[in-house]
Amino acid sequence: MRKIGIDLGGTNIAAGIVDENGAILHKDSIPTGASRPKEEIIDDIAALCRALASEAGLSLSDIDSVGIAVPGGVDEKRGEILFTPNIPFSGLNICEILSEKLDDIHVSVTNDANAATLAEVLAGAAKGADNAVMITLGTGVGGGIVVDKKIYSGSNGLAAEIGHFVLQMGGEQCGCGRRGCFEAYASATALVRMTKEELNTCFMSGEATVMAEMRADSARTAFDAFRAGDKAAARVIERYTDALANGIASLINIFQPDVFIIGGGVSGERQFLIDLLQPKVDAEDFARGAKKRTRLCTATCGNDAGIIGAALNGGERR
């Protein structure tokens, strides 16, 4: 089986030919040129699909389906993009249009975070799981929900806005307009904020910290300094992982998924992060006494997750 997965980003459009196991056989990418008219971008996507097939020594008729992952809200059943803030595709029935340009091949569409979650379940860290929840810790907190090996996108395609449940009523201002969202405590941005706050406290009290010599605007600083034995960094990591584990335990209490996956930049800390979180999650998981418990892990599909998930979602439009 050969499927094409397309990861439509604000900067680049990456696409790959994916087999039934989620392995990428061939991939390529082009700039999005998001400020151009939508017709041009769509033509480029169609050309990219044909080029991919050709580069792999295949013709379009050898491809079973095309799946596209977009950064925005999607009505998967209708094949329609509801909104994409950074690409002029809002309101577009991308499936119909792209199918017409590609010899009527079956085209499906999903949200990019949903696609990434599906990729982890079918070909990555959660391979074999039926149910999984993923959070991506980056500029914000995104995520996806997979139930019975299928993407759950709710009644309107906008489910799994998993960064936007409140962890602290009246707490930190969140970009979504609410106060105290999980995103405002668990994103890489939040970790950087906590790092800067701690640096400021050290500066005021005269406490020495190796973080003062490091990049204050990096989410890696506190982790690296903590590993070097820095006490101020230890306080940052304690505060950050307390909030992160608290939110993860909340989501586990709601879903009790087979696997809970952490992706995004901060997940680069891999097992070191999991080892910090696990005891905190254990203490707060309602099912901590159950025989079967949720496995906590970091993502493994990396930047290919969107391509893989879009492709494997492609066989079935829901």
Give the interface with a copy of itself as residue ranges (CB under 8 A): 73, 82, 129-131, 145, 147, 152-162, 164-169, 176-178, 242-243, 246-247, 249-251, 253-258, 283-284, 286-287, 290-294
Contact 17, 27 (CB under 8 A): yes
Nearer to a copy of itself, 99 or 241 (CB): 241
165 or 272, CB closer to a copy of itself?
A: 165
Rounded to a whole number of angstroms, the minimum distance from the CB of residue 176 to a copy of itself is 6
Question: Closest approach of Cβ 11 to a copy of itself, in Å?
Answer: 24
**Side-chain half-sphere CA neighbours of 314 within 13 A:** 33
| CA–CA distance, 34 with 213 (Å, rounded to integer) | 38
* Separation of alpha carbons 17 and 301, rounded Å: 15
In this structure, the number of other CB atoms found within 10 A of the CB of residue 155 comes to 7
CB 171 within 8 A of CB 184: yes
State which residue, 94 or 249, has the beta carbon closest to a copy of itself: 249
Q: How far is the CB of 254 from a copy of itself (least distance, A)?
A: 6
- The neighbouring-strand residues paired with 18 are 3, 24
How many angstroms separate the CA atoms of 296 and 133, rounded?
10
Q: Cβ 282 to a copy of itself, closest distance in Å? A: 12
For a copy of itself, the closer CB: 23 or 290: 290
Secondary structure letter of residue 245 according to DSSP: H
Residue with smaller CB distance to a copy of itself, 159 or 216: 159
Residue 255 CB, shortest distance to a copy of itself, in Å, is: 6
